[in-house]
Amino acid sequence: MTDFSINNLVRSAVILVIGLPVTLGVASSISKTDPVSDAVSAAKAPLVTPCLEYMIIKPDSKLERGAKDRVDAVMGSDGADYKGLCGYVLN
C-alpha cells in the first residue's frame, strides 16, 4: 500500500514541476494587453504633462495659456475642450 502511495506522490510532484512553468508561460502570453488599449495609452502619453500643468495652474494666468498651447501643439489644432480632454487623459 505505501509503495502505491509513494508512486502517486512522485508522479504528482513530477507533473507539478513540469506542468506549472508551462501553465504560467501560456497564461502570461494570453494575458497581454490588447492593441486598442496600447494605442490609447500611446495617444495619451504626450498629453499627460501639459494636462497636469493645466489642471494645477491658476486659471487665466500666463502659465495656463502656456499649458493650453502645449495641448494644442500635441492635438494639432487650437481650441480644444481642455477641461474635458485633460480629465480623460488623467483618468
Residue 25 grid cell: 508561460
Residue 1 has pLDDT above 60, yes or no: no
Question: Is residue 21 domain-shared with residue 61, that is, in the same domain?
Answer: no
Domain count, the chain: 2
**Alpha-carbon Rg of the chain, whole angstroms?**
27
- What pTM, to 2 d.p., does this model score? 0.59
Q: State pLDDT tens for residues 25-69.
A: 777 666 566 788 888 889 999 999 999 999 998 888 999 999 999
Question: Is residue 26 domain-shared with residue 41, that is, in the same domain?
Answer: no
Q: Rounded to the nearest 10 degrees, how much is the dihedral formed by the CA atoms of 74, 75, 80, 82?
A: -40
Nearest to 84 by CA among 51, 56, 62, 60: 51
Q: Which residue has the higher pLDDT, 38 or 89?
A: 89
CA distance linking residue 83 with residue 72, whole number of Å: 13
Question: Is residue 38 domain-shared with residue 78, that is, in the same domain?
Answer: yes
Q: State pLDDT tens for residues 3-28.
A: 567 888 888 888 878 877 777 777 76
Question: Is residue 28 domain-shared with residue 46, that is, in the same domain?
Answer: no
